[in-house]
Amino acid sequence: MAKKITDKQQGSKLQWFFFVIIIPIVFAITLAWIVLTLLGVNVTEEAGKYVSKVPGISQSASTPEQENIKSNNKELQSSLDARNEEIELLEEELSAKQTEIDELEQKVVKLEADLETAQEEKEEKPENEKVMNMASSFQQMDPEEAAPIVENMSQELAIQVLENVSSEERGLIFGQMSPEAAAGIAGEMIDSTED
């Protein structure tokens, strides 16, 4: 029976503590919160300022400003990551375009070289054809008629023409030319064949 009384006394002490201290404190805090909110005070922000000054609680509690800063930092970091990915993609695209430009430049250089070669061949071909036509004309002429014409030509042209004439006809033309002119042209022809 003594035990029942002590249990009742302990239970009643706990009830007394709860009803006399805890409930009035909770009621007072709630009432103060409501009144301060009605007066325009941001209770959460003010409480965060005071809680951040308490040594043990300050690390675990964060103010709304800190939460805003954290969320802004997360947004900025995600935006930065997205921009970095976009930059990487653009750099890859730039590299691909640069490779394409290099290939096209090489094609242009090759085509320019081909064009230059074709133009040189085109320029050489008519001259060679003209020389060949003139050589066949000289071959059909009498050596007495051809010799004075060859003597009056430039030495370079005379050499080109006579190189395309048969050796027999060339000998006959040389025979009809003055010895000095024939010797000069023959000497140049020999020099050009040795080169």
64 — pLDDT class (breaks 50, 70, 90): low
Predicted TM-score (pTM) of the model is 0.36
The Cα-based distances of 180 to 175, 183, 190 in angstroms read 11, 5, 15
Alpha carbons within 13 A on the beta-carbon side of 96: 6
Residue 17 has pLDDT above 80, yes or no: yes
1 — pLDDT class (breaks 50, 70, 90): very low
**pLDDT one-digit tens code per residue, 135-188:** 888 788 888 888 888 888 888 888 888 888 888 888 888 888 888 888 888 888
161: buried, middle or exposed (CB in 10 Å: 19+, 13-18, 0-12)? buried
Among the listed ranges 8-12, 15-19, 151-155, which one has the minimum average pLDDT value?
Answer: 8-12
Q: What is the pLDDT of residue 121?
A: 73
Query: How far is the C-alpha of 42 from the C-alpha of 36, rounded, in Å?
Result: 8
Percent of the chain exceeding pLDDT 70 equals: 83
**Residue in the block written with tokens 């509690």:** 61
